[in-house]
Amino acid sequence: MANLTYFHNSLNEEETSDLRRRMDKAESDTFQVYELCKSYRFMSRRKGYHLYKEVYGKELQVEEIGRSLTNLCCMGLLIDTGRTEMADMGARNKVYEYNPNPPKNPIKIPKKITVTILINETENGFELDMEKMSDDFISKMDYYENLIIKKNKQK
């Protein structure tokens, strides 16, 4: 599972030792959350936050717990139950369940693929750069399709 990306480098930072350390920590946090899910079977962000603090003796932000749960669900290690429960501030949290039959070599496929909105200034005003945005979207779709094809060939 070491080739999966757990830290989202949304700022497109160069890969420095600090970025690598944060990425490694994110992987570690994700699998610590997974171990909690194995033990407690059902998990929400709120429950994960409190259990993580109790079991590991350190605090992980609720958003980091949420990211871990989402990543684990995308990898097929957890199942989205479709249920929610009330969180501390009145928001509702998704409830995930430990998958008793997880994939042997999971790959992380995102629930959504997004592209950056690109706007060009023209003599008539502004317009979306649909061609570049479409190319970006298609390249991302191709990437995930190739991951799935490669995974299917390994079976």
Range of the domain at 122: 113-155
Q: Where a domain ends, among 102, 131, 146?
A: 102
> What is the per-residue pLDDT across 25-80, written as a single tens digit (0 to 9) for each?
656 888 889 988 988 899 999 999 998 888 888 888 989 999 899 889 888 899 99
Tell me the C-alpha distance between 19 and 4, whole Å: 15
Residue 105 CA, distance from chain mean position? 16
Same domain? For 63 and 83 the reply is: yes
> What is the per-residue pLDDT across 87-113, written as a single tens digit (0 to 9) for each?
878 889 999 999 999 888 777 777 778
Same domain? For 94 and 131 the reply is: no
**Cβ–Cβ contacts within 10 Å for residue 32, how many?**
17
And the tokens for 45? Answer: 């962000």
**Reported pTM:** 0.62
In 25-77 the beta strands, taken as DSSP E runs, fall at 42-43
Same domain? For 3 and 57 the reply is: yes
CATH number at residue 87: 1.10.10.10
**Cα-based torsion angle of the residue sequence 10, 13, 19, 20 in order, rounded to the nearest 10 degrees:** 100
Tell me the C-alpha distance between 101 and 76, whole Å: 9
